[in-house]
Amino acid sequence: MPKIRLAIVSTHPIQYYSPVFRALAEEDDLELRVFYTWSQAADATVFDSGFGAAVKWDVPLLDGYDHQFVANVAKRPGLNHFRGLKTPTLSREIEAWRADAVLVYTWNSLAHLSALRHFKGRVPVFFRGDSTLLDRRSWWRSRLRRIFLTWVYSHVDVAMAVGANNRDYFAWCGMPMRRIAIAPHSVDTERFAADAEQHDILAARWRRDLGIPAEAIVFLFAGKLQAKKNPLLLLDAFGSLGDGTHLVFVGNGELETLLKVKSVAVPRVHFMPFQNQSVMPAVYRLGDVFVLPSQGPEETWGLAVNEAMASARPVIASTKVGAARDLLADPEHGWIFESGNRQALVETLRRAAAQGRARLRAMGMIAQSNSAGWSTAESARRIGSAVREYLDSLAVHRNSAPITTAEHA
């Protein structure tokens, strides 16, 4: 039986997606090719506005799956505006490859929206995004947004939701529930869980270098120091905690200078610069609890939550973190607090610290064991299943269609 030829349209190599593509490429009945639309990122170096610097990840992003870069002829190439991706040959290249189905990641560029419109009705169109309804909008903006998005998703046969909040968003945009599949937002959980002893050694060395006592409870923030993630609220709330706790910020960004200035008045606060992917498992082990206090807008998921759990650490996350609803539903995984509520965060930090290091480590092990449901392998399995099931349903429909008079003659 011939393999299903699945074309994937994505912007550029991303550390969270490449492992999923590799896992999909290993499926026996799938033949995969990823078409990257930001050809200017072919050397894997991109400018990340959140970090304020060019970033090149130190883990393989193009190994293990078939891919090609499609020429992007945009006058101002980039992901920060709709016309930053313009790929007039994309559809022809996918058709020349003879795709049986197309999976498009995100629609908010000329190239990707054009692909959705072109392939609708030609081959089955699948869509992957992570938008939510968590951010408040005025009633008229919300109404206009819904009208427009209903039109966008009318070009999609099956939407692949990353979690519950994203599923609700697709339903709000007019997608019938029978055409929404769940394929969880994932990280390479095996990589974060592996070599734990080695990562623990590096984390312990960092703690010593920062002057943190071995017995202290450490709250960790790792990511972009930007307003969306609200690290200033965490610094302010931590100032209410007593001795025996420390706070570590790992990363860079627009708020870095302000955080460092404000931290002068708050004891036991430490900073480390951006760390690349290969050492992130050790970064999460530097802390006893990972904290993501985001206020948004557009904190649609927060994959750092996945990474922290896979690294055997419990998590504190705000209600504006899209992942919280799914990943922190079990209280053994951590805590959720009301976004922007300083007192709620203070109380949550105190509650976590009161657990003690042994209890926090036990919670972390439970979180790690349950993170397999949000793994690369599970995400790939769900994507593959959704594609197969929809194509099978089309085949059944075609085979059961009544014979017309012309066909009978």
HEC sequence for 290-310: EEECCCCCCCCCCHHHHHHHH
**CA atoms within a 13 Å half-sphere pointing along the CA-CB vector of 365:** 6
What are the beta bridge partners of residue 54? 47
The pair of three-digit structure tokens given for residue 91, joined into one six-digit string: 């559809």
Structurally, the chain folds into a number of domains equal to: 2
339 and 250: one domain?
yes
User: Helices 18-25 and 376-400 meet at what angle, rounded to 10?
Assistant: 50
Non-local CB neighbours of 287 within 8 Å, separated by 6+ positions: 218, 219, 220, 222, 248, 313
65 and 114: one domain?
yes
64 and 209: one domain?
no
Q: What is the residue-wise DSSP string for 317-360?
A: EETT-TTHHHHTSSGGGEEEE-TT-HHHHHHHHHHHHHT-HHHH
Q: Where residue 309 sits, what CATH number does that domain have?
A: 3.40.50.2000
Q: Please say whether the beta carbons of 160 and 183 come within 8 A.
A: yes
Q: Please say whether the beta carbons of 75 and 88 come within 8 A.
A: no
Q: Please say whether the beta carbons of 364 and 314 come within 8 A.
A: yes
**Alpha-carbon distance values, 200 to 192, 225, 269, 280, 394 (Å):** 12, 25, 21, 11, 51
156 and 288: one domain?
no
- Please tell me the predicted confidence (pLDDT) of residue 407: 37
Amino acid at 4: I
Average pLDDT per 10 consecutive residues for the chain, totaling 409 residues: 95 96 97 97 74 76 97 96 98 98 98 98 97 95 97 98 98 97 96 96 97 97 97 98 95 97 96 95 98 97 98 98 97 98 98 97 97 95 98 86 43
In 3D space, the residue among 158, 189, 162 whose CA is nearest the CA of residue 19 turns out to be: 189
Q: What are phi and psi of 197, to 5 degrees?
A: -60, -45
- Please tell me the predicted confidence (pLDDT) of residue 191: 95
46 and 98: one domain?
yes
Domain membership of residue 312 as a residue range: 190-372
Q: Please say whether the beta carbons of 323 and 303 come within 8 A.
A: yes
In 3D space, the residue among 286, 168, 158 whose CA is nearest the CA of residue 222 turns out to be: 286
90 and 213: one domain?
no
Q: How far does the chain reach from its first CA to its final CA, in angstroms?
A: 31
310 and 242: one domain?
yes
254 and 398: one domain?
no
400 and 353: one domain?
no
- Please tell me the predicted confidence (pLDDT) of residue 408: 33
229 and 358: one domain?
yes
Predicted TM-score (pTM) of the model is 0.93
What are the beta bridge partners of residue 214? none
36 and 145: one domain?
yes
Q: What is the DSSP letter of 183?
A: -
The pair of three-digit structure tokens given for residue 102, joined into one six-digit string: 């197309």
Radius of gyration of the chain (CA): 23
353 and 379: one domain?
no
- Please tell me the predicted confidence (pLDDT) of residue 242: 84
Non-local CB neighbours of 393 within 8 Å, separated by 6+ positions: none
